Amino acid sequence: MAVLILKPNSFKEYELIDSGNFEKLERFGEFITIRPEPQAIWNKVKSTQDWLKMAHTRFESKSSSSGNWVKLKQMPDRWIIKYNEKLSFRLALTSFKHVGIFPEQAVNWDYIQQQIGKIKDKPVKFLNLFAYTGGASLAAKAAGADVTHVDSIKQVVSWANENQLHSGLKDIRWVVEDAVKFVKREIRRGNTYHGIIMDPPAYGHGANGESWKLEKQLMELVEDTQQLLNKEEHFLILNTYSLGFSSLIIENLYQKSIHKNSKLEIGELYLPSSTNQKLPLGVFGRFSNLK
């Protein structure tokens, strides 16, 4: 099986300017940030002085999971950017280095909209697990699907709802719950979905303190989500960002269990920099029986 290496086709309000020495220099709209990046083990192309001249803010780590932003130029703590005419995101300088969007996921947003457009059964039902601030949920809703958005952290679900409003969308179903528990309950209820995306973290905790570790629990989640797929028309995306996690693992998880007539694709997501680097940002597997 060929391994796909994919990047966003067009994201005008985002740019990876440079990366290296375990950091990345990025433009979100009109503002430029410096953030830690464990994959960027190579040297920067631009000088540190150039980075500091360009950047509006830099994240300084206090620990492996938190830190603070040091502003180098005047900028707001919150601002809005657009992916396209339909999807808008409120960004923010958070204490855990994220700003509220993972730009490489635009590859998945485009794929979701393409697959939803092929489904004849209406209404199209779409499930987003470990949904964060809702990029995939917005993409599916903009394509006309009935969307269920599941995340265990109330604050990021509220953030996703803000993004829905900024995008001029409505009626996404918000669920604050552990994704594993939600899936098992949906199986018992007999509910199914035409499309599912899941982007589980390497480790974490559910809404009620449930423990999650990718390597130990992913196989069970893969088996359970298979039961939620509409048998006639369906697609599924599994995206992971964990150092050392290969897309071949996803192939092994799915190759014997996917529904008949579904085509499995695996690969890697990356962002190209303006200085001609390729920054790897996770692996994916996806399959569909849609023509």
At 154-187, the pLDDT tens digits run: 999 999 999 999 999 999 999 999 999 999 999 9
How does residue 215 score in pLDDT terms, banded at 50, 70 and 90?
confident
Q: Which CATH superfamily is domain 104-288 in?
A: Vaccinia Virus protein VP39 (3.40.50.150)
The residue type of 118 is: K
Q: Is 165 exposed, middle or buried (0-12, 13-18, 19+ CB in 10 A)?
A: exposed
Instruction: Report, as an integer, the average pLDDT of 30-37.
Output: 97
Q: What residue ranges of the chain are covered by domains with CATH 2.60.40.1180? A: 3-92
Q: In Å, how far are 62, 69, 142, 286 from 65, measured between CA atoms?
A: 8, 13, 33, 30
CATH class of 3-92: mainly beta
Using 50, 70 and 90 to split pLDDT, how confident is the model at 210?
confident
**pLDDT(207) > 70:** no
Domain(s) labelled CATH 3.40.50.150 in the chain stretch across: 104-288
Please provide the DSSP assignment of 226-286 as one string.
HTTB-SSS-EEEEEE--TT--HHHHHHHHTTTSPTTPEEEEEEEEEEBTTS-EEEEEEEEE
Residue 106's Cβ-side half-sphere holds a number of Cα atoms within 13 Å equal to 21
